[in-house]
Structure 1
Protein backbone atom coordinates (compact mmCIF):
# COMPACT_ATOMS: atom_id res chain seq x y z
CA UNK A 1 0.00 0.00 0.00
CA UNK A 2 1.04 3.61 -0.51
CA UNK A 3 0.58 6.52 1.89
CA UNK A 4 1.06 9.31 -0.66
CA UNK A 5 -1.64 11.78 -1.58
CA UNK A 6 -4.86 12.97 0.05
CA UNK A 7 -8.21 11.20 -0.17
CA UNK A 8 -11.53 13.03 -0.16
CA UNK A 9 -14.20 10.88 1.51
CA UNK A 10 -17.66 12.11 0.54
CA UNK A 11 -20.45 11.17 2.91
CA UNK A 12 -17.89 10.90 5.70
CA UNK A 13 -20.48 10.87 8.48
CA UNK A 14 -22.50 8.04 6.91
CA UNK A 15 -22.52 4.30 7.46
CA UNK A 16 -19.67 3.44 5.09
CA UNK A 17 -18.04 6.85 4.74
CA UNK A 18 -17.31 7.24 8.46
CA UNK A 19 -15.73 3.80 8.57
CA UNK A 20 -13.71 4.44 5.41
CA UNK A 21 -12.37 7.72 6.79
CA UNK A 22 -11.52 6.11 10.14
CA UNK A 23 -9.73 3.15 8.56
CA UNK A 24 -7.77 5.41 6.20
CA UNK A 25 -6.56 7.72 8.98
CA UNK A 26 -5.74 4.75 11.23
CA UNK A 27 -3.48 3.47 8.44
CA UNK A 28 -1.69 6.82 8.24
CA UNK A 29 -3.36 8.28 5.15
CA UNK A 30 -4.29 11.94 4.80
CA UNK A 31 -8.07 12.36 4.57
CA UNK A 32 -10.53 15.16 3.99
CA UNK A 33 -13.88 14.17 5.51
CA UNK A 34 -16.65 15.78 3.47
CA UNK A 35 -20.16 16.29 4.83
CA UNK A 36 -22.89 18.91 4.80
CA UNK A 37 -21.96 20.04 8.32
CA UNK A 38 -18.18 19.59 7.98
CA UNK A 39 -18.34 17.28 11.00
CA UNK A 40 -15.02 15.97 12.38
CA UNK A 41 -14.46 12.25 11.70
CA UNK A 42 -11.57 10.34 13.27
CA UNK A 43 -8.33 12.25 12.54
CA UNK A 44 -9.51 13.52 9.14
CA UNK A 45 -9.76 17.16 8.16
CA UNK A 46 -13.47 18.14 8.06
CA UNK A 47 -14.66 19.95 4.94
CA UNK A 48 -18.06 21.30 3.93
CA UNK A 49 -19.60 19.47 0.99
CA UNK A 50 -23.08 19.30 -0.50
CA UNK A 51 -23.73 17.47 -3.77
CA UNK A 52 -26.40 20.01 -4.66
CA UNK A 53 -24.26 23.08 -3.87
CA UNK A 54 -21.42 23.40 -6.41
CA UNK A 55 -20.03 26.31 -4.40
CA UNK A 56 -18.73 23.71 -1.88
CA UNK A 57 -16.95 21.57 -4.45
CA UNK A 58 -13.76 23.52 -5.20
CA UNK A 59 -12.53 23.68 -1.60
CA UNK A 60 -13.33 20.00 -1.08
CA UNK A 61 -11.28 19.04 -4.15
CA UNK A 62 -8.30 21.26 -3.38
CA UNK A 63 -5.17 19.14 -2.99
CA UNK A 64 -7.00 15.84 -3.43
CA UNK A 65 -5.58 12.86 -5.35
CA UNK A 66 -8.21 10.19 -4.65
CA UNK A 67 -11.94 10.43 -3.96
CA UNK A 68 -14.37 8.05 -2.29
CA UNK A 69 -17.86 8.66 -3.65
CA UNK A 70 -21.17 8.08 -1.87
CA UNK A 71 -24.15 9.19 -4.01
CA UNK A 72 -26.66 11.73 -2.67
CA UNK A 73 -29.12 9.87 -0.45
CA UNK A 74 -32.61 9.32 -1.82
CA UNK A 75 -31.82 10.79 -5.26
CA UNK A 76 -33.23 8.69 -8.11
CA UNK A 77 -31.05 10.55 -10.65
CA UNK A 78 -27.68 11.09 -8.94
CA UNK A 79 -25.83 11.41 -12.26
CA UNK A 80 -27.26 14.90 -12.71
CA UNK A 81 -25.08 16.23 -9.88
CA UNK A 82 -22.34 13.61 -9.74
CA UNK A 83 -21.10 13.68 -13.32
CA UNK A 84 -20.40 17.46 -13.40
CA UNK A 85 -18.56 17.08 -10.09
CA UNK A 86 -16.49 14.17 -11.41
CA UNK A 87 -15.49 16.12 -14.51
CA UNK A 88 -14.44 18.96 -12.22
CA UNK A 89 -12.52 16.50 -10.03
CA UNK A 90 -10.58 15.18 -13.02
CA UNK A 91 -9.66 18.73 -14.07
CA UNK A 92 -8.59 19.47 -10.48
CA UNK A 93 -6.11 16.58 -10.53
CA UNK A 94 -7.98 13.68 -8.97
CA UNK A 95 -6.39 10.49 -10.29
CA UNK A 96 -8.53 7.76 -8.71
CA UNK A 97 -12.23 7.47 -7.89
CA UNK A 98 -13.97 4.72 -5.94
CA UNK A 99 -17.76 4.73 -6.18
CA UNK A 100 -20.19 3.11 -3.75
CA UNK A 101 -23.02 1.52 -5.72
CA UNK A 102 -25.14 -1.56 -5.03
CA UNK A 103 -25.12 -5.23 -5.95
CA UNK A 104 -28.65 -4.67 -7.25
CA UNK A 105 -27.62 -1.96 -9.74
CA UNK A 106 -25.49 -3.03 -12.72
CA UNK A 107 -23.32 -0.80 -14.89
CA UNK A 108 -25.66 1.37 -16.96
CA UNK A 109 -28.60 0.52 -14.71
CA UNK A 110 -30.88 2.98 -12.96
CA UNK A 111 -29.75 5.69 -10.55
CA UNK A 112 -26.03 5.31 -9.73
CA UNK A 113 -25.66 2.75 -12.53
CA UNK A 114 -25.29 5.67 -14.94
CA UNK A 115 -22.38 7.05 -12.90
CA UNK A 116 -20.83 3.58 -12.82
CA UNK A 117 -20.96 3.44 -16.60
CA UNK A 118 -19.26 6.84 -16.96
CA UNK A 119 -16.47 6.31 -14.42
CA UNK A 120 -13.93 4.41 -16.60
CA UNK A 121 -13.98 7.18 -19.21
CA UNK A 122 -13.35 9.83 -16.55
CA UNK A 123 -10.49 8.21 -14.59
CA UNK A 124 -7.73 5.76 -15.50
CA UNK A 125 -7.79 4.47 -11.90
CA UNK A 126 -11.18 3.53 -10.52
CA UNK A 127 -13.37 0.99 -8.81
CA UNK A 128 -17.09 0.52 -8.22
CA UNK A 129 -18.04 -1.18 -4.97
CA UNK A 130 -21.32 -3.06 -5.28
CA UNK A 131 -22.11 -4.34 -1.79
CA UNK A 132 -25.12 -6.42 -0.95
CA UNK A 133 -27.52 -5.14 1.72
CA UNK A 134 -25.87 -3.73 4.85
CA UNK A 135 -26.00 -5.65 8.12
CA UNK A 136 -26.19 -2.24 9.81
CA UNK A 137 -29.71 -1.83 8.38
CA UNK A 138 -30.79 -3.82 11.45
CA UNK A 139 -28.75 -1.97 14.09
CA UNK A 140 -28.77 1.76 13.29
CA UNK A 141 -31.34 4.32 12.16
CA UNK A 142 -32.53 2.44 9.07
CA UNK A 143 -36.31 1.79 8.94
CA UNK A 144 -35.69 -1.92 9.54
CA UNK A 145 -33.77 -1.14 12.73
CA UNK A 146 -36.48 1.24 13.92
CA UNK A 147 -39.27 -1.24 13.24
CA UNK A 148 -37.34 -3.94 15.10
CA UNK A 149 -37.00 -1.67 18.14
CA UNK A 150 -40.51 -0.19 17.99
CA UNK A 151 -42.59 -3.15 16.79
CA UNK A 152 -40.45 -6.28 16.92
CA UNK A 153 -41.12 -6.58 13.18
CA UNK A 154 -39.24 -6.49 9.86
CA UNK A 155 -41.48 -5.51 6.94
CA UNK A 156 -40.46 -6.53 3.39
CA UNK A 157 -41.77 -7.83 0.08
CA UNK A 158 -38.85 -10.26 -0.23
CA UNK A 159 -40.84 -13.42 0.61
CA UNK A 160 -38.25 -16.20 1.30
CA UNK A 161 -35.54 -14.61 -0.84
CA UNK A 162 -32.03 -14.68 0.58
CA UNK A 163 -29.38 -11.93 0.69
CA UNK A 164 -25.62 -12.03 1.30
CA UNK A 165 -25.78 -9.27 3.93
CA UNK A 166 -22.41 -7.55 4.44
CA UNK A 167 -20.90 -5.62 7.34
CA UNK A 168 -20.17 -1.94 6.60
CA UNK A 169 -16.75 -2.39 8.24
CA UNK A 170 -15.92 -4.94 5.54
CA UNK A 171 -17.16 -2.59 2.82
CA UNK A 172 -14.93 0.15 4.21
CA UNK A 173 -11.95 -2.21 4.32
CA UNK A 174 -12.39 -2.98 0.62
CA UNK A 175 -12.82 0.75 -0.09
CA UNK A 176 -9.51 1.48 1.63
CA UNK A 177 -7.69 -1.12 -0.44
CA UNK A 178 -9.33 0.15 -3.63
CA UNK A 179 -8.28 3.71 -2.80
CA UNK A 180 -4.72 3.07 -1.67
CA UNK A 181 -3.29 -0.05 -3.32
CA UNK A 182 -0.69 0.83 -5.93
CA UNK A 183 -2.81 -0.81 -8.61
CA UNK A 184 -6.46 0.24 -8.72
CA UNK A 185 -9.01 -2.55 -9.27
CA UNK A 186 -10.33 -0.87 -12.47
CA UNK A 187 -13.45 -3.01 -12.23
CA UNK A 188 -16.64 -3.38 -10.23
CA UNK A 189 -16.57 -5.49 -7.09
CA UNK A 190 -19.60 -7.30 -5.67
CA UNK A 191 -19.29 -7.57 -1.89
CA UNK A 192 -21.20 -10.00 0.30
CA UNK A 193 -20.95 -11.48 3.74
CA UNK A 194 -20.12 -15.18 4.30
CA UNK A 195 -23.71 -16.48 4.15
CA UNK A 196 -26.99 -15.80 2.38
CA UNK A 197 -29.88 -15.17 4.79
CA UNK A 198 -33.59 -14.56 4.38
CA UNK A 199 -35.27 -11.80 6.38
CA UNK A 200 -36.85 -14.60 8.37
CA UNK A 201 -33.34 -15.85 9.20
CA UNK A 202 -32.39 -12.31 10.25
CA UNK A 203 -35.40 -12.11 12.56
CA UNK A 204 -34.46 -15.46 14.13
CA UNK A 205 -30.85 -14.41 14.79
CA UNK A 206 -31.90 -11.06 16.27
CA UNK A 207 -34.34 -12.90 18.54
CA UNK A 208 -31.73 -15.43 19.65
CA UNK A 209 -29.02 -12.85 20.35
CA UNK A 210 -31.15 -10.15 22.00
CA UNK A 211 -33.79 -12.32 23.65
CA UNK A 212 -36.50 -10.07 22.24
CA UNK A 213 -38.99 -11.68 19.81
CA UNK A 214 -38.67 -10.32 16.24
CA UNK A 215 -40.68 -11.54 13.26
CA UNK A 216 -40.59 -10.99 9.50
CA UNK A 217 -43.92 -9.76 8.10
CA UNK A 218 -44.41 -10.17 4.37
CA UNK A 219 -45.96 -7.42 2.30
CA UNK A 220 -47.02 -7.49 -1.33
CA UNK A 221 -45.03 -5.43 -3.82
CA UNK A 222 -47.74 -2.74 -3.88
CA UNK A 223 -47.99 -2.66 -0.09
CA UNK A 224 -44.24 -2.27 0.24
CA UNK A 225 -44.10 0.51 -2.34
CA UNK A 226 -46.90 2.41 -0.61
CA UNK A 227 -45.27 1.87 2.79
CA UNK A 228 -41.97 3.28 1.53
CA UNK A 229 -43.68 6.26 -0.09
CA UNK A 230 -44.42 7.57 3.41
CA UNK A 231 -40.65 7.80 3.98
CA UNK A 232 -39.02 8.69 0.64
CA UNK A 233 -40.04 10.19 -2.73
CA UNK A 234 -42.29 7.95 -4.82
CA UNK A 235 -39.66 7.31 -7.52
CA UNK A 236 -37.15 6.12 -4.92
CA UNK A 237 -39.83 4.11 -3.09
CA UNK A 238 -40.69 2.32 -6.33
CA UNK A 239 -37.02 1.50 -6.97
CA UNK A 240 -36.64 0.09 -3.43
CA UNK A 241 -39.80 -2.00 -3.80
CA UNK A 242 -38.45 -3.28 -7.12
CA UNK A 243 -35.31 -4.38 -5.26
CA UNK A 244 -37.42 -6.31 -2.73
CA UNK A 245 -39.17 -8.06 -5.58
CA UNK A 246 -35.82 -8.94 -7.14
CA UNK A 247 -34.71 -10.46 -3.82
CA UNK A 248 -37.88 -12.55 -3.75
CA UNK A 249 -36.95 -13.81 -7.22
CA UNK A 250 -33.43 -14.83 -6.08
CA UNK A 251 -31.35 -11.96 -7.48
CA UNK A 252 -29.33 -11.49 -4.27
CA UNK A 253 -28.93 -15.17 -3.34
CA UNK A 254 -25.17 -15.25 -4.01
CA UNK A 255 -21.83 -15.08 -2.22
CA UNK A 256 -18.48 -13.69 -3.38
CA UNK A 257 -14.90 -13.90 -2.09
CA UNK A 258 -14.22 -10.17 -2.62
CA UNK A 259 -13.73 -9.24 1.04
CA UNK A 260 -11.40 -12.19 1.67
CA UNK A 261 -9.47 -11.60 -1.55
CA UNK A 262 -8.88 -7.87 -1.06
CA UNK A 263 -8.46 -7.68 2.71
CA UNK A 264 -6.93 -11.07 3.47
CA UNK A 265 -9.55 -11.95 6.08
CA UNK A 266 -13.06 -13.45 5.97
CA UNK A 267 -16.11 -11.19 6.16
CA UNK A 268 -17.97 -10.93 9.46
CA UNK A 269 -21.13 -12.97 10.02
CA UNK A 270 -24.43 -11.32 10.93
CA UNK A 271 -24.56 -13.22 14.22
CA UNK A 272 -21.10 -11.91 15.16
CA UNK A 273 -22.24 -8.36 14.37
CA UNK A 274 -25.37 -8.73 16.52
CA UNK A 275 -23.35 -10.20 19.39
CA UNK A 276 -20.95 -7.27 19.21
CA UNK A 277 -23.85 -4.81 19.27
CA UNK A 278 -25.40 -6.65 22.22
CA UNK A 279 -22.13 -6.37 24.19
CA UNK A 280 -21.94 -2.65 23.46
CA UNK A 281 -25.46 -2.02 24.72
CA UNK A 282 -25.14 -4.17 27.86
Structure 2
Protein backbone atom coordinates (compact mmCIF):
# COMPACT_ATOMS: atom_id res chain seq x y z
CA UNK A 1 0.00 0.00 0.00
CA UNK A 2 1.10 3.56 -0.62
CA UNK A 3 -0.11 4.59 2.82
CA UNK A 4 0.43 2.13 5.65
CA UNK A 5 -2.43 3.73 7.57
CA UNK A 6 -5.01 2.72 4.97
CA UNK A 7 -7.24 -0.27 5.67
CA UNK A 8 -8.39 -3.06 3.40
CA UNK A 9 -12.04 -3.86 4.02
CA UNK A 10 -12.87 -7.55 3.66
CA UNK A 11 -16.60 -8.06 3.29
CA UNK A 12 -17.85 -11.50 4.27
CA UNK A 13 -14.82 -11.97 6.50
CA UNK A 14 -16.27 -14.99 8.29
CA UNK A 15 -16.98 -16.83 5.02
CA UNK A 16 -15.06 -19.39 3.01
CA UNK A 17 -12.85 -17.01 1.05
CA UNK A 18 -13.29 -13.86 3.13
CA UNK A 19 -11.86 -15.44 6.28
CA UNK A 20 -8.82 -16.61 4.33
CA UNK A 21 -8.29 -13.24 2.65
CA UNK A 22 -8.51 -11.39 5.98
CA UNK A 23 -6.13 -13.82 7.68
CA UNK A 24 -3.58 -13.73 4.84
CA UNK A 25 -3.64 -9.93 4.69
CA UNK A 26 -3.22 -9.65 8.45
CA UNK A 27 -0.38 -12.18 8.41
CA UNK A 28 1.30 -9.93 5.83
CA UNK A 29 1.04 -7.02 8.30
CA UNK A 30 -1.66 -5.24 6.33
CA UNK A 31 -4.25 -3.19 8.16
CA UNK A 32 -7.49 -5.10 7.74
CA UNK A 33 -11.12 -4.50 8.63
CA UNK A 34 -12.95 -7.84 8.86
CA UNK A 35 -16.58 -7.03 8.05
CA UNK A 36 -19.48 -9.26 9.03
CA UNK A 37 -22.98 -8.94 10.42
CA UNK A 38 -21.83 -9.64 13.96
CA UNK A 39 -18.42 -7.91 13.75
CA UNK A 40 -16.64 -11.20 14.42
CA UNK A 41 -12.83 -11.01 14.86
CA UNK A 42 -10.75 -12.85 12.24
CA UNK A 43 -7.06 -13.39 12.95
CA UNK A 44 -5.30 -10.07 13.51
CA UNK A 45 -7.96 -8.07 11.64
CA UNK A 46 -10.07 -5.30 13.15
CA UNK A 47 -13.70 -6.49 13.35
CA UNK A 48 -16.42 -4.18 12.04
CA UNK A 49 -20.13 -4.63 11.56
CA UNK A 50 -21.38 -4.76 7.97
CA UNK A 51 -24.72 -5.86 6.58
CA UNK A 52 -25.71 -5.52 2.91
CA UNK A 53 -29.32 -5.10 4.07
CA UNK A 54 -28.45 -2.24 6.43
CA UNK A 55 -26.93 0.79 4.65
CA UNK A 56 -26.36 2.48 8.02
CA UNK A 57 -23.50 0.01 8.53
CA UNK A 58 -21.63 1.25 5.45
CA UNK A 59 -20.10 4.47 6.82
CA UNK A 60 -18.29 2.90 9.75
CA UNK A 61 -17.01 0.01 7.68
CA UNK A 62 -15.61 2.35 5.01
CA UNK A 63 -13.85 4.76 7.36
CA UNK A 64 -10.11 4.78 6.60
CA UNK A 65 -10.46 2.20 3.81
CA UNK A 66 -8.75 2.51 0.43
CA UNK A 67 -9.45 -0.97 -0.99
CA UNK A 68 -12.12 -3.60 -0.56
CA UNK A 69 -12.72 -7.31 -1.11
CA UNK A 70 -16.33 -7.80 -2.16
CA UNK A 71 -18.46 -10.83 -1.39
CA UNK A 72 -21.98 -10.42 -2.87
CA UNK A 73 -25.00 -10.86 -0.59
CA UNK A 74 -25.55 -14.60 -0.28
CA UNK A 75 -28.62 -15.96 -2.03
CA UNK A 76 -29.53 -12.72 -3.80
CA UNK A 77 -30.65 -12.96 -7.43
CA UNK A 78 -30.11 -9.19 -7.87
CA UNK A 79 -26.98 -8.25 -5.89
CA UNK A 80 -26.39 -5.14 -8.02
CA UNK A 81 -29.38 -3.47 -6.38
CA UNK A 82 -27.54 -3.21 -3.05
CA UNK A 83 -23.92 -3.47 -4.18
CA UNK A 84 -23.81 -0.61 -6.69
CA UNK A 85 -25.03 2.07 -4.23
CA UNK A 86 -22.44 0.81 -1.73
CA UNK A 87 -19.66 0.92 -4.34
CA UNK A 88 -20.54 4.49 -5.31
CA UNK A 89 -20.42 5.40 -1.62
CA UNK A 90 -17.10 3.57 -1.29
CA UNK A 91 -15.60 5.55 -4.17
CA UNK A 92 -16.72 8.81 -2.56
CA UNK A 93 -15.22 7.67 0.77
CA UNK A 94 -11.77 7.18 -0.81
CA UNK A 95 -11.72 3.54 -1.92
CA UNK A 96 -9.56 3.27 -5.04
CA UNK A 97 -9.24 -0.49 -5.56
CA UNK A 98 -11.85 -3.24 -5.46
CA UNK A 99 -11.62 -7.00 -5.92
CA UNK A 100 -14.95 -8.71 -6.55
CA UNK A 101 -15.71 -12.39 -6.01
CA UNK A 102 -17.86 -13.64 -8.87
CA UNK A 103 -18.04 -17.06 -10.55
CA UNK A 104 -16.58 -18.74 -13.60
CA UNK A 105 -20.17 -19.46 -14.63
CA UNK A 106 -21.17 -15.78 -14.71
CA UNK A 107 -19.68 -13.59 -17.48
CA UNK A 108 -19.45 -9.82 -17.46
CA UNK A 109 -22.94 -8.40 -17.90
CA UNK A 110 -24.47 -11.77 -17.07
CA UNK A 111 -27.05 -12.48 -14.38
CA UNK A 112 -26.68 -11.63 -10.70
CA UNK A 113 -23.13 -10.48 -9.89
CA UNK A 114 -22.35 -10.20 -13.61
CA UNK A 115 -24.02 -6.79 -13.50
CA UNK A 116 -21.65 -5.65 -10.75
CA UNK A 117 -18.71 -7.02 -12.76
CA UNK A 118 -19.80 -4.88 -15.70
CA UNK A 119 -20.02 -1.72 -13.58
CA UNK A 120 -16.77 -2.14 -11.63
CA UNK A 121 -14.29 -0.66 -14.18
CA UNK A 122 -16.39 2.50 -14.39
CA UNK A 123 -16.31 2.94 -10.63
CA UNK A 124 -12.64 2.26 -9.83
CA UNK A 125 -9.41 2.77 -11.75
CA UNK A 126 -7.91 -0.27 -9.96
CA UNK A 127 -9.97 -3.44 -9.92
CA UNK A 128 -10.14 -7.19 -10.35
CA UNK A 129 -12.93 -9.71 -10.72
CA UNK A 130 -12.18 -13.18 -9.40
CA UNK A 131 -14.21 -15.83 -11.21
CA UNK A 132 -13.39 -19.12 -9.47
CA UNK A 133 -14.74 -22.44 -10.57
CA UNK A 134 -16.58 -24.61 -8.03
CA UNK A 135 -14.93 -24.76 -4.60
CA UNK A 136 -13.24 -27.90 -3.33
CA UNK A 137 -14.71 -26.86 0.04
CA UNK A 138 -18.13 -27.84 -1.33
CA UNK A 139 -17.20 -31.36 -0.19
CA UNK A 140 -16.49 -30.43 3.44
CA UNK A 141 -18.30 -28.95 6.43
CA UNK A 142 -21.99 -28.17 6.17
CA UNK A 143 -22.25 -28.06 2.39
CA UNK A 144 -24.99 -30.34 1.10
CA UNK A 145 -22.52 -32.48 -0.90
CA UNK A 146 -20.49 -33.14 2.24
CA UNK A 147 -23.62 -33.86 4.26
CA UNK A 148 -24.99 -36.45 1.86
CA UNK A 149 -21.57 -38.03 1.32
CA UNK A 150 -21.27 -38.53 5.07
CA UNK A 151 -24.89 -39.55 5.63
CA UNK A 152 -25.54 -42.03 2.83
CA UNK A 153 -22.46 -42.10 0.62
CA UNK A 154 -23.96 -40.12 -2.26
CA UNK A 155 -23.33 -36.84 -4.06
CA UNK A 156 -26.37 -35.65 -6.02
CA UNK A 157 -26.08 -33.34 -9.05
CA UNK A 158 -27.57 -32.74 -12.48
CA UNK A 159 -24.11 -32.42 -14.06
CA UNK A 160 -24.02 -35.81 -15.81
CA UNK A 161 -20.56 -36.48 -17.22
CA UNK A 162 -19.65 -32.78 -17.16
CA UNK A 163 -16.27 -31.81 -15.71
CA UNK A 164 -15.30 -28.90 -13.44
CA UNK A 165 -11.92 -27.35 -12.63
CA UNK A 166 -12.55 -27.44 -8.86
CA UNK A 167 -10.40 -24.91 -6.99
CA UNK A 168 -9.23 -24.65 -3.38
CA UNK A 169 -10.46 -21.59 -1.45
CA UNK A 170 -6.90 -21.08 -0.17
CA UNK A 171 -5.78 -20.54 -3.76
CA UNK A 172 -8.67 -18.15 -4.40
CA UNK A 173 -7.70 -16.14 -1.33
CA UNK A 174 -4.04 -16.04 -2.36
CA UNK A 175 -5.04 -14.57 -5.72
CA UNK A 176 -7.34 -12.06 -4.00
CA UNK A 177 -4.50 -10.89 -1.76
CA UNK A 178 -2.28 -10.32 -4.79
CA UNK A 179 -5.09 -8.50 -6.58
CA UNK A 180 -5.52 -6.22 -3.58
CA UNK A 181 -1.87 -5.58 -2.75
CA UNK A 182 0.29 -5.79 -5.89
CA UNK A 183 1.59 -2.44 -7.09
CA UNK A 184 -0.49 -2.78 -10.26
CA UNK A 185 -4.05 -4.06 -10.02
CA UNK A 186 -4.99 -6.75 -12.55
CA UNK A 187 -7.72 -4.55 -14.07
CA UNK A 188 -9.29 -7.65 -15.61
CA UNK A 189 -11.30 -10.70 -14.69
CA UNK A 190 -9.50 -13.88 -13.65
CA UNK A 191 -10.99 -17.34 -14.11
CA UNK A 192 -9.56 -19.47 -11.30
CA UNK A 193 -9.40 -23.26 -11.42
CA UNK A 194 -7.48 -26.12 -9.94
CA UNK A 195 -4.95 -28.07 -12.00
CA UNK A 196 -7.42 -30.63 -13.38
CA UNK A 197 -11.03 -30.73 -14.61
CA UNK A 198 -12.95 -33.52 -12.86
CA UNK A 199 -16.44 -34.99 -13.16
CA UNK A 200 -18.51 -35.66 -10.06
CA UNK A 201 -17.90 -39.35 -10.76
CA UNK A 202 -14.17 -38.57 -10.46
CA UNK A 203 -14.79 -36.68 -7.21
CA UNK A 204 -16.78 -39.58 -5.75
CA UNK A 205 -14.05 -42.04 -6.73
CA UNK A 206 -11.35 -39.91 -5.09
CA UNK A 207 -13.37 -39.52 -1.89
CA UNK A 208 -14.00 -43.28 -1.86
CA UNK A 209 -10.28 -43.91 -2.13
CA UNK A 210 -9.37 -41.39 0.56
CA UNK A 211 -12.05 -42.40 3.06
CA UNK A 212 -12.21 -46.14 2.46
CA UNK A 213 -15.98 -45.84 2.02
CA UNK A 214 -18.05 -46.24 -1.13
CA UNK A 215 -19.22 -42.81 -2.26
CA UNK A 216 -21.18 -42.53 -5.50
CA UNK A 217 -22.44 -39.76 -7.75
CA UNK A 218 -26.22 -39.95 -8.03
CA UNK A 219 -27.37 -38.28 -11.25
CA UNK A 220 -30.50 -36.13 -11.14
CA UNK A 221 -32.41 -34.49 -13.96
CA UNK A 222 -32.41 -30.70 -14.20
CA UNK A 223 -35.97 -30.57 -12.84
CA UNK A 224 -35.20 -32.96 -9.98
CA UNK A 225 -32.25 -30.77 -9.01
CA UNK A 226 -34.32 -27.59 -9.16
CA UNK A 227 -37.01 -29.07 -6.90
CA UNK A 228 -34.45 -30.42 -4.48
CA UNK A 229 -32.78 -27.02 -4.11
CA UNK A 230 -36.08 -25.13 -3.93
CA UNK A 231 -36.97 -27.06 -0.78
CA UNK A 232 -34.31 -25.07 1.09
CA UNK A 233 -33.65 -21.84 -0.83
CA UNK A 234 -35.72 -19.27 -2.80
CA UNK A 235 -37.13 -20.69 -6.03
CA UNK A 236 -35.41 -18.19 -8.32
CA UNK A 237 -32.00 -18.89 -6.79
CA UNK A 238 -32.67 -22.64 -6.90
CA UNK A 239 -33.47 -22.40 -10.61
CA UNK A 240 -30.24 -20.49 -11.26
CA UNK A 241 -28.15 -23.14 -9.45
CA UNK A 242 -29.91 -25.97 -11.30
CA UNK A 243 -29.21 -24.15 -14.56
CA UNK A 244 -25.52 -24.06 -13.62
CA UNK A 245 -25.53 -27.85 -13.21
CA UNK A 246 -27.15 -28.12 -16.62
CA UNK A 247 -24.40 -25.93 -18.09
CA UNK A 248 -21.73 -28.13 -16.50
CA UNK A 249 -23.37 -31.16 -18.11
CA UNK A 250 -22.97 -29.39 -21.44
CA UNK A 251 -19.24 -28.77 -20.90
CA UNK A 252 -19.29 -25.12 -19.85
CA UNK A 253 -16.84 -25.66 -16.96
CA UNK A 254 -14.56 -28.23 -18.60
CA UNK A 255 -11.39 -26.12 -18.50
CA UNK A 256 -8.35 -25.18 -16.49
CA UNK A 257 -6.45 -21.88 -16.42
CA UNK A 258 -3.02 -20.70 -15.30
CA UNK A 259 -4.37 -17.76 -13.27
CA UNK A 260 -3.45 -19.14 -9.82
CA UNK A 261 0.08 -20.02 -10.95
CA UNK A 262 0.55 -16.70 -12.74
CA UNK A 263 -0.70 -14.50 -9.88
CA UNK A 264 0.74 -16.38 -6.91
CA UNK A 265 3.78 -18.15 -8.38
CA UNK A 266 2.62 -21.53 -7.08
CA UNK A 267 0.80 -24.51 -8.56
CA UNK A 268 -2.87 -24.71 -7.52
CA UNK A 269 -3.73 -27.49 -5.13
CA UNK A 270 -5.08 -30.75 -6.56
CA UNK A 271 -8.37 -32.21 -5.39
CA UNK A 272 -6.64 -35.40 -4.27
CA UNK A 273 -4.27 -33.43 -2.01
CA UNK A 274 -7.19 -31.39 -0.69
CA UNK A 275 -9.31 -34.48 0.01
CA UNK A 276 -6.50 -36.26 1.84
CA UNK A 277 -6.27 -33.38 4.29
CA UNK A 278 -9.97 -32.52 4.55
CA UNK A 279 -11.15 -36.14 4.91
CA UNK A 280 -8.13 -37.51 6.72
CA UNK A 281 -10.14 -39.42 9.35
CA UNK A 282 -10.91 -43.05 8.37
CA UNK A 283 -14.66 -42.43 8.12
CA UNK A 284 -16.08 -38.93 7.41
State TM-score, norm by structure 1: 0.98
Q: Which residue in the other structure is 1:261 paired with?
A: 262
Deviations, residues 224-259 of structure 1 (Å, cap 9, x unaligned): 000000111000000000000000000000000000
Please give the residue correspondences for 1:131-280 in structure 2 after superposition, counting only pairs within 5 Å.
Answer: 131-279=132-280
Please report how far the alpha carbon of residue 279 of structure 1 lies from its aligned counterpart in structure 2 after TM superposition.
3.7
Please give the residue correspondences for 1:79-118 in structure 2 after superposition, counting only pairs within 5 Å.
Answer: 79-118=80-119
How many residues end up aligned between the 2 structures?
A: 282
Q: Which moved more, 1:3-12 or 1:180-189?
A: 3-12
Please report how far the alpha carbon of residue 141 of structure 1 lies from its aligned counterpart in structure 2 after TM superposition.
1.5
CA distance in 2 between partners of 1:27 and 1:37 (Å): 25
List structure 1 segments (4+ residues) > 6 angstroms apart after TM superposition. none
* Contact kept in structure 1, 2:211 and 2:281, CA below 8 Å: no
* Contact kept in structure 1, 2:211 and 2:282, CA below 8 Å: no
Q: Which residue in the other structure is 2:57 paired with?
A: 56
Q: Which residue in the other structure is 1:67 paired with?
A: 68
Change (3 A) 1:3 1:155: farther
Q: Which moved more, 1:140-149 or 1:162-171?
A: 140-149
Change (3 A) 1:132 1:2: farther
* Contact kept in structure 1, 2:167 and 2:268, CA below 8 Å: yes
2:18 matches 1:26: no
For the residue of structure 2 that corresponds to 1:260, the secondary structure is: helix
CA distance in 2 between partners of 1:118 and 1:280 (Å): 45
Change (3 A) 1:187 1:276: same
CA distance in 2 between partners of 1:140 and 1:165 (Å): 16
CA distance in 2 between partners of 1:278 and 1:110 (Å): 34
CA distance in 2 between partners of 1:279 and 1:153 (Å): 18
Deviations, residues 63-116 of structure 1 (Å, cap 9, x unaligned): 001000000000000001000000000000001000000000000000000000
**Structure 1 spans left out of the alignment, 5+ residues:** none
* Contact kept in structure 2, 1:3 and 1:29, CA below 8 Å: no
Please report how far the alpha carbon of residue 3 of structure 1 lies from its aligned counterpart in structure 2 after TM superposition.
7.6
Q: Which residue in the other structure is 2:121 paired with?
A: 120
Deviations, residues 38-59 of structure 1 (Å, cap 9, x unaligned): 1110100000000010011100
**Structure 2 spans left out of the alignment, 5+ residues:** none
Deviations, residues 163-187 of structure 1 (Å, cap 9, x unaligned): 0000000000000000000100000
Q: Which residue in the other structure is 1:44 paired with?
A: 45
CA distance in 1 between partners of 2:163 and 2:127 (Å): 30
CA distance in 2 between partners of 1:253 and 1:184 (Å): 28
Change (3 A) 1:50 1:281: farther
Q: Which residue in the other structure is 1:6 paired with?
A: 7
* Contact kept in structure 1, 2:212 and 2:282, CA below 8 Å: no
State TM-score, norm by structure 2: 0.97
Deviations, residues 3-34 of structure 1 (Å, cap 9, x unaligned): 83310000000000000001111111110000
